[in-house]
Amino acid sequence: LLPGGHLMLAAGGRTPSRGVALIINKRHRKKLKGWRAVSERFLWADLAWKGRTCRILVVYMPTMGHPEDEVDLLYEQITAAVQGKDAVFILGDFNAVIGRREAMDGMLWHGGFSLEEERNARGRKLATWTSSMDFILANTLFMKEAHRTATHVRGRFARVIDYIMVKRARWVKIVDCEVEDDFAINSDHRLLACTLIIAGSSSQQSPQSLRRMQRKENKKTLKHWKPVNEDQYCEEVEWLSLIHI
C-alpha cells in the first residue's frame, strides 16, 4: 500500500529500462478481482466496474536498441491477455511513433491527429496490431496543442510514443485524452490522461437514446475543431459516427 491507502501493483523496476506499475485509487481497491505480472515489461489487472470486468494492461515496450524478437514476444503476450475480453484498456510506453493517419488505415482505430507526420517501423507494427485487435488509440482522437500532445520530451525533441488504447465497444465513450503538462513526474515522459464514460452492463438505454448521446458528444468534439476543407469535415463527421458504434 502507498501513503494515503492507494494500492500499487508493480513488476520489475530493478533497472531503469524495465518495470511497470499500476496505481489503484483507495476508493476502488475492493474492485480488484485479480492481477498478474507477466514480465518486467507487462502486467494486467481485472477490476469490477458497473457489472463488468474491466481488464487494464500496463506495457513498457523495448526501445529501438533491443532485438525485434523481444517486441514480438511482448505483442504475443498482450494478445493472449486480451483475447476473449470485451472491456480492455491498455496504457503504456510503446516506443513507437504512429504519426498521422495513412490512406490504408481506415477510420476505426486512428483518429487522425498526431504530433508527427511520419510513422516509424515500430509504429507500423503497433498500427497493424491495433487495427487487427479492434482497439482505438485514444491519443489520436482529439486535436490538441503540441504541449498537450507530446508524451516524451528530451531537450528540443518532442514526440508521441506513449498511448492509451481502448477496446472498441458501444458502451465505452472516450470523452477526452491529453497530456497533463503541469504534472511533474520527474521523467522525460509526461503524464497522459484519458476521460471515459463506461455504461453499466444493465443499462436500459435504447438505441435511439444512445444515438442521441453520440450526436451530442460528436458536436462537443467538433466545436473547437476547424477543418481544412469541406471534404475533411465530412470525413471526420463520418468517422465520429463510426467510432462510437
pLDDT tens string 118-147: 999 999 999 999 999 999 999 998 989 998
Q: How far apart are CA 57 and CA 81, in angstroms?
A: 8
| pLDDT at residue 9, rounded to an integer | 96
Task: Answer whether residue 220 shows pLDDT above 70.
Answer: no
| Entry pTM | 0.81
Helix (H, G, I), strand (E, B) or coil at 33: strand
Q: What share of the chain has pLDDT > 70, as a percent? A: 80
- CB contact set of 152 (below 8 Å; sequence gap of 6+): 93, 158, 159, 160, 161, 162, 188, 189, 190
Q: What are the tens digits of pLDDT across the range 52-76?
A: 999 999 999 999 889 999 999 999 9
Task: Answer whether residue 231 shows pLDDT above 50.
Answer: no
Q: What is the largest CA-CA distance in the chain?
A: 53
Strand partners, 91: 58, 164
Q: How far apart are CA 190 and CA 195, in angstroms?
A: 17
In DSSP notation, 37-59 reads EEETTEEEEEEEETTEEEEEEEE
> To 5 degrees, how large is the angle CA 76–CA 78–CA 84?
105
* H or E element at residue 201: none
- Write down how long the chain is: 245
The bridge status of strand 162-167 relative to strand 88-93 is: antiparallel
Across 37-61, average pLDDT: 95
